[in-house]
Structure 1
């Protein structure tokens, strides 16, 4: 089997389940209420994939269950589908093969997938859409018939892998199914119940939806309409796929049940996003919610209280609160697009809902009142009472116009009052803001002046600083010169100091010599005076003196 691809916008398919089916699935199988069911073997013990599904309109009838699928065997001729998928339905001696597209993106309409597969003419009898486990994708069942349904299915699966790469659609064979609604095992073909017959017609072209299981099957194509294979959409209604492809909306053409993609509306008051609890006003577009029990309980409350229950049945719903406030009586259900009349306390045209194949009896009984009204109006038209009807319509329309005009005038007056109050408050705030703005502007002017003054002072300080820097550089140069001069003076002083010391030392020695000479002179004078007193001659005195002088000088030289 080709590898299963999953759309990029959708979550991955369910993980492969264990080979042993859980005990809850292996419960004893009772006889199914469906006329086509019989006892069948349990799902194969080989590894299978399991998918949850549900189908139908939640406001009418739903079917839930599990589908077990197995890989499609390309090698075997007959495949395990023919041996294991036994069923009590006789298709002219041929047993169909049921395939499943497990994960088709909600952005891909089923008609687009069918259009590609129809080019293979693989004997497809019917297609059916189911809800899967993920909101971003859906399941597509394919019923393949013909004398060799396995070969046709093999051709279809090969075409899916080669022709639908952009749609990311693959197929696998269904091994078994479990219905949670009836709590029983189902054959794969029973997922298409009820079986289409010649009595079923396409609601668009009104041609029969032929289900021909013979070898020469037309593939579900109507003989006269030519609308293509029958396609059963999520709510349970069936159409020719070509007819449905011309329907531009994603809702059902019959019941207006919203198919994929689901709408993302929410209540304008509380934000409730469940489509089964939302209603849209057909006059102003207001979105409101109903009670917590859903629309089935909502309809029952409305119809049971119509006789005398009053309006308390909608006391807690925002949709009804909007009706009381605006007198907008008609609102549309988001999920089924049915119109509800608050003034009458019921849905408009309940006959459309009662005509569902699996509709309940209560809806049919509740629709009798609307049928009588429609028949009464038709009877008046047939009897020629068109003028009375037009007069009544004009009166009702005029009354509705006047009430709506009064309602919107009250709303406009409230809006004007709120606007006037808001305008007065905004005017006061504006004046206060303008006053603050003027004060801020004056402060800004003062700040600008101070900034200009500070800038000029900064320029002056900068120029003075530059001058001081230049003067500092000059003083540094002069200091270096003075340092050089001081160093020279120090050297000169040192030199002079040394010279003065030498000179002082020399003077000291000369002074000592002078003292010696003075001493010698005194001695000489003293001796001469003594000689003169003694009467010695000059020669004697000279000789004595010479001797004495030579001795003293020699002694001085020795001291030196």
Structure 2
């Protein structure tokens, strides 16, 4: 079973070339205030192996950062050096940005890792010296990359091996040893690297934490390589670097590790000046100053809110443990001669005083370190959660803004189309209104004309009724006149017949009876005969 290690991710944060100089300056100022790191000139020199299959592109950074062309066989033959394994001019890439080294938060199998990173190679070692240092393993190395970020004393080197076994052999042989026997202090520190990438942002990959830089030696701090010590002001250093610092203050912020009481000390919450030196308590975790429980109780309130259980009494320099509700027994340093003297508190037994004091001191140091570490992890988790949350919210807001912009553009186009349609409909409405007005005028004229025609019709109907009545009366008169004419003609005919007849005397003494008129008289002669 292979050993579990924490592999690293080497990322080059490249500045966005689209931004102008003013925006770049403001971005550098923002980065400096936020991350305490500014963009530097970064160069990557790649030395490929002769045994490696030639490639057209050995680049690690974007294409715009390349300064020279890749290797050719002709250049390899003409520019050989005394180290025969690597030859030709290196493939150089230059850009401006920040080098980040992120370490995995959990252990993983290093069986698949074939890349090693030499953290702090001194600048006194040239590229030729580095190739000579790695010469015994040249048969197993695919290529070497030298990364510089304008640091005055060191650079980093990436060694990519062909197999994991050769990388493991190099790691076991050279890790922790000096680069040369003349400078034993320059130790070769090696970490495993899972991948190398570049990006435009400094957001760490998920599940990774960036390795900080020691402010003294400017090297990466990795607890698996060298001891890392965090002091009260929350600044971390290499243990060896801090031992060489001759002052009791912090090398970065000059914070005194045993602070003196100020003349006008006061509680940070109530603002009242302490009447006695024993009335104020300072938190050993975050430095909060509060009054004791018999004054305002703000020191105990700070413990209940934050969980910081150790507080130092400014007058007696005794440490109170709120969680255990008692004083922590420890040794204090005498200000006059620097000797260790027992602190105030319950006296210890005489026969085991020294052993008890030593054990209590170690316990207190362990408790303080554990509390600081817990607080550091807690706030780092909080910061990581907030950064991830803000990043997700930023991405959601950006996508929402993009969707709203698209929707706004669609609505604007639809509004333009609706305005055109509105104008066309208004024209149609005007035309229809004109037609309606003319139609109403025609309707009124037709109504008036119909009314006049109805009046004329009534008059003509009245005249027709009168004419029909007159016609009927005239028809009656005509019928009567016809009867009279018929009777008259009958009388005349009869008279003529009688006058011509021989029997007129007999006829004159007789009577005439008129019968019903026949249905169809055939002729006048028949009438006369009757």
TM-score (ref. length: structure 1)? 0.28
More helix by share: 1
Q: Tell me the TM-score normalized by structure 2.
A: 0.29
